[in-house]
Amino acid sequence: MKVKLLQRIFLSLGSFAICFTHPLHTLSQSTKPIGTEAIAEIAMGRGLKEIDLGIYGGVLFMHGMSELAVLQKDPKTLNNTIEIFEKFKTKEIKGRGSFISYEAGGSGVAYLNYLKKSDKLKEQTELYADKMFKDQKRTSEGLLTAPWLKDSLDQFMIDCAFAVTPYMLYAGLSMNKPEYVDLAVFETLEMFKILKDTSGLIHQGRGFQGLGSISEDNWSRGNGWGAFSLAFLVRDLPATHPKKKEVNELAKSFFTSILKYQNQEGLWNQEMTEHTSYVETSGSGLMLFGLGICIEKGIIDKSHLPQFVKGLSGYTSYITPDGSISNVTIGCLCPGKGTKKDYIKHAWKRNDIHAFGPVVLAFTQAAKMGIKEITPAKSMGCYVADFEKPMKPQAYVRYMPEANGNICWENDRIAFRVYGPPVKNRVSSGIDIWTKSVEYNIISKWYNDNNMGKSYHEDHGEGNDFYHVAYGRGLGGTAIWRNGKPFISQPYASHRILKNTEEEVAFELNFDAWDADGIKVREKKVISLKMGTNFCKVTSTFITDSKEPLTVALGISYSNKPEIINDAEKGTLTIWESYMPKNGELGTAVHVQPAVFKAFADYEKEKYILINAQSGKPLTYYVGAGWSKTPQFKTRQEWLNYVSAEIPNMKF
């Protein structure tokens, strides 16, 4: 990488130092534009260190390098790319896997040979194109597929188009073999016909859940593979080819459908039709690459250019200044029964083999279109935490768009979360407790571990999440109490971070109006948490047009047979519950000003403290939790003693 380029990168990244050092902060500071070519080079440099180039993730990456090499005037990347491809020829790098094209180095080698960038690539391009045309396993309709599949006459996946279409297209064009070009076109068009969904998107595969069965998913990287394959036909299939019009019409329809499912960050989720699933970056990068080509070629109207730029801008939140890339789903071959839920559960990994190629491709394409710089949506890499190096103990609050818009907050003793708007039809406005036995911050680490199959509902030495809150109140979630039952709101509708220092955090949640047994109620909730305590301070303001007095209920969820300690004189509802032998014992408490206390109540598997309230008048209370596996609370009595000791510090 050129010295001047490195200087430019790090000068432009100077304002992001806080984000990268402390990635768990909520980051809203202004950001400076970053060169698109520079981002591609950052990802390329990291990818060369991380990836086994001989397998298909490496082949994808090498095509990205080839595209970048063609863009740049400086021949350094081109020379390096050609040198790597030559190592495939000498077997110094052993290309291997499901497709014969991998032995040559993949579609990048055929692309550079087609462009006559080197006379050193011709022999291997042609040798493996001939082999693949003659010897690659085919389905009953003639689609090239992986030879190891159990029923190769029926089974295939859209991933196969990535391995076949661009390689055979560029080999066929350079070798003047129309049959190779026709195969390249057939592979993608036929797969789209078989796998197309009513949404206009595509499914991943056929035959994995039974003969002829199509997987249910609209998987991000599956659609990315389709976008990747189709994009080359749009760009480089000659206009004289009899299928060119069909290619362009399909591309217009497909990429128009893709744009309908772009999320608020301009990216796509793991299951594209379900925004509660995590943001998936490898598929997003491939789709942005194809979208850019379609805009450049006029297949998609240029009015969609802002959506392309928005995607690139959002992408930077998942790319660190040293090239690490997060939220990349691991290898995903029609998991389980091929349902949307099966895909949603499939874990992501930082710096997975699929991570780097899509970044290089997307940002190189932007540079080719004359988009020289991108302004990050937030800060470079601000959603990529270094989970191997726990942060020093501190308070923080974090809005997590990559986790359903949840908001999480934490100090050195306890952690909490509330659910975000994307899951409003599946959960409600309860407050979740994440108990911990360590002082350092754990929330982002636990999310990452959970995505990798290490559930945060089990203690792995740091603590755990006791509750599945769902529609419950969790710890101190609010409700309007009428006619002997609680009426609850959906998750928050909007939020605002008020304070986010290492010593204290504060934020505001606003809830849309909900029906409480005939009256409409809105709520604004301000939550704060300081270091060194297990209690949050909460101030709720309820607004209603009704002139009736309000009874507000603060609930505590429980699991089995809790010990209940009610103290009307102090205004406290305290619970101690055993989860032995698996997860220890849990203490929870809500404390209200005795002057507003009304009564205690039960409803289903929750205990409530009822308080008198007035429309428009703020109401302050405290919620807290403790866990028997921490030094502070080994017994029920120690928890009760702690609650009593904290009450004098609670200001209303």
Residue 209 has pLDDT above 60, yes or no: yes
Looking at the structure, tell me whether residues 367 and 446 fall in a common domain.
no
Looking at the structure, tell me whether residues 583 and 477 fall in a common domain.
yes
Task: Decide if 384 is inside a domain.
Answer: no
User: How large a percentage of the chain has pLDDT more than 70?
Assistant: 94
Q: How far apart are CA 493 and CA 151, in angstroms?
A: 49
Task: Decide if 133 is inside a domain.
Answer: yes
Q: Note the pLDDT of residue 372.
A: 96
Q: Which tokens hold the place of 172?
A: 């066929």
Looking at the structure, tell me whether residues 324 and 420 fall in a common domain.
no
Task: Give CA torsion, residues 268, 272, 277, 280, to 10 deg.
Answer: -40
Residue 352 CB neighbours (<10 A):
21
Q: Let me know: does 321 contact 19? Beta carbons within 8 Å.
A: no
Q: What stretch of H or E contains 342?
A: helix 340-345
Q: How far apart are CA 390 and CA 412, in angstroms?
A: 12
- Of 325, 340, 374, which one is at a domain's C-terminal end? 374
Pairing relation of β-strands 406-410 and 205-206? unpaired
Task: Decide if 409 is inside a domain.
Answer: yes
Task: Decide if 391 is inside a domain.
Answer: no
CA–CA distances in Å: residue 85 to residues 55, 82, 483 = 13, 5, 75
Q: How far apart are CA 535 and CA 554, in angstroms?
A: 15
What's the mean pLDDT when you consider all of the chain? 91
- CATH number of the domain bearing residue 463: 2.70.98
Looking at the structure, tell me whether residues 9 and 57 fall in a common domain.
yes
Looking at the structure, tell me whether residues 137 and 262 fall in a common domain.
yes
Looking at the structure, tell me whether residues 404 and 467 fall in a common domain.
yes
Looking at the structure, tell me whether residues 339 and 406 fall in a common domain.
no
- CATH number of the domain bearing residue 291: 1.50.10.10
How many structural domains does the chain have?
A: 2
What SS3 class is residue 58? helix
Q: Which tokens hold the place of 505?
A: 């955090």
Can you give the residue range of the structural domain that contains 349?
Answer: 3-374
For residue range 84-101, list pLDDT tens digits in order: 999 999 999 999 999 999
Looking at the structure, tell me whether residues 448 and 336 fall in a common domain.
no
Looking at the structure, tell me whether residues 199 and 146 fall in a common domain.
yes
Q: How confident is the model at residue 400 (pLDDT cuts 50, 70, 90)?
A: confident
Task: Decide if 390 is inside a domain.
Answer: no
Task: Decide if 386 is inside a domain.
Answer: no
For residue range 12-62, list pLDDT tens digits in order: 333 222 233 333 333 333 478 999 999 999 999 999 999 999 999 999 999
* Model confidence, pTM: 0.69
| Residue the block writes with tokens 């302050």 | 620
Q: How confident is the model at residue 390 (pLDDT cuts 50, 70, 90)?
A: low
Task: Decide if 286 is inside a domain.
Answer: yes
Q: Note the pLDDT of residue 386.
A: 63
Write the Ramachandran bin of 453: left for phi over 0, alpha for psi from -120 to 50, otherwise beta: left
Average pLDDT over every residue of 476-485: 96
For residue range 193-205, list pLDDT tens digits in order: 999 999 999 999 9
- Of 374, 407, 437, which one is at a domain's C-terminal end? 374
- Per-residue burial over 500-510, b if 16 or more Cβ lie within 10 Å, else e, is beeeebbbebe
Looking at the structure, tell me whether residues 364 and 430 fall in a common domain.
no
For residue range 622-647, list pLDDT tens digits in order: 999 998 888 788 888 999 999 999 99
Looking at the structure, tell me whether residues 348 and 404 fall in a common domain.
no
Looking at the structure, tell me whether residues 448 and 312 fall in a common domain.
no
Task: Decide if 412 is inside a domain.
Answer: yes
